[in-house]
Structure 1
């Protein structure tokens, strides 16, 4: 099954076209909220394994992958938040690679290049990434008809710290931190969480992610606010999680705690675990021939 790609920028404004026919569009139509003037250069580096890491994001974007017009289209969509400890974005194997495969299976996918929390560029760095996730959900839902998407079948996905962002949107959608004049629902309809940071609690959290988001000595109320296993309600979206038992970067206790909270509130939750695989394996856990995406697509078919 084929897929085609479009980079979206500048809302409803005219977009520039690259040599390969793609168009580029920023996440926000005008000023980026919660920003401070600061000279920060965005950088992108690709290592010997083909993994591309982006840092210094000040202008967040969405890159959209749609199912080919001549092929099956489920009408469902997923916004993808790459991981990187809230320090960088592992945007290739935890973003674009996943989006391409989802599109090849009839699911529209949007890779979110979100701002990373940094005091120098944000008035309140705690909420910067969440604002971008809320805006991404707002844009996709408001343009669903235009893009052939079902407005009530739009999910959020996240890897590692991106999983924290995805679960934060899933549990903090009710309070809009962006302009929302149409009152568009910012609630994801489901979530996909890969080896996610869920908790900010000592002993469970990923220290680097917590330090980057909340600071080296966070206030107790912030630890509680951003420990998403503590924010689950009966209205929290259903979730599909994947985690390796030997992950010593983000402990599997994060996924287990989130699933337990969801089940306690009667919310559909499924956790796929692997005995090995460590952290950051993206689509392919090299210790097994099993493909978690196959299981996710079956699960998603029930919605």
Structure 2
């Protein structure tokens, strides 16, 4: 990121106008960090966790974005407003709308985009995957190609969700693993493709999982995404 800034590139984008931020001060905290990949490649939006009390970009945002950008994808890490799940989901809807509206300037494709979320952030991406951006105040846009969810038990779904990648640790002390598996089974029963990974002994918030049984999960998740690029 330092190299990008030093090279004169913009790495942080406001997706709300100054007027919108003045009318609603909670929008002043928001924005998108951009990790560039190949020109016109698909994009991903990464939503870190933080229990809606903070946004854990250093642990569950930037590391994911760096790995994805190395593979040529364009990646945005969302800094959403804290304190409200609904408000944060509305921030994500606005962010995706902004990317679509400015795709030519940003140099990204709007085809086959993917949403990635961990913990609280996974609830945001699941909601957009289920109901789309317009439900949460964004533009009327296609749903994501795939949704990647890490360690959350978010129960709600529409029955028309995108293919979904899910992972959790069996000893997660924050998330009810049985509830995670209930969602996975419900998605499967609705005919929605799901890839589910349950790891051992690494708890909640394992990030990239380096040095644990989960190490390499991103390769699996990227492959899951790529398996659906050709289906569009």
Short-chain TM bin: 0.7 to 0.9
Displaced runs of 4+ in structure 1, greater than 4 A?
Answer: 3-6, 33-38
**What does residue 169 of structure 1 align with?**
128
CA distance in 2, matches of 1:59, 1:135: 14
CA distance in 2, matches of 1:103, 1:278: 27
5 Å-filtered alignment, 1:206-225, equals none
Question: What is the Cα deviation at residue 97 of structure 1?
Answer: 1.0
2:8 is aligned, of 18, 21, 24, to 21
Q: Structure 1: which 5+ runs fail to align?
A: 7-17, 39-56, 118-124, 200-227
**What does residue 63 of structure 1 align with?**
33
Question: What is the Cα deviation at residue 265 of structure 1?
Answer: 1.5
The verdict on how the C-alpha distance between 1:20 and 1:106 changes in structure 2, with shifts beyond 3 A counting, is: closer
The verdict on how the C-alpha distance between 1:238 and 1:34 changes in structure 2, with shifts beyond 3 A counting, is: farther
**What does residue 19 of structure 2 align with?**
31
5 Å-filtered alignment, 1:67-146, equals 67=37, 75-117=41-83, 125=84, 127-146=86-105
Q: RMSD in angstroms over aligned alpha carbons?
A: 2.7
Question: What is the Cα deviation at residue 186 of structure 1?
Answer: 5.5
TM-score, normalised by the number of residues in structure 2: 0.85
CA distance in 2, matches of 1:177, 1:58: 18
CA distance in 1, matches of 2:80, 2:110: 22
CA distance in 2, matches of 1:93, 1:283: 8
CA distance in 2, matches of 1:82, 1:100: 14
If each structure's helix is expressed as a fraction of its own residues, which one has the higher value? 2
CA contact (8 A) 2:119 2:150 kept: yes
1:236 equivalent in alignment to 2:158: no
Give the match's secondary structure for 1:154: strand
CA distance in 2, matches of 1:146, 1:105: 21
The verdict on how the C-alpha distance between 1:270 and 1:96 changes in structure 2, with shifts beyond 3 A counting, is: same
User: Rg larger in 1 or in 2?
Assistant: 1
CA contact (8 A) 2:47 2:61 kept: yes
TM-score, normalised by the number of residues in structure 1: 0.67
1:271 is aligned, of 183, 196, 206, to 196
Q: Structure 2: which 5+ runs fail to align?
A: none
1:257 equivalent in alignment to 2:182: yes
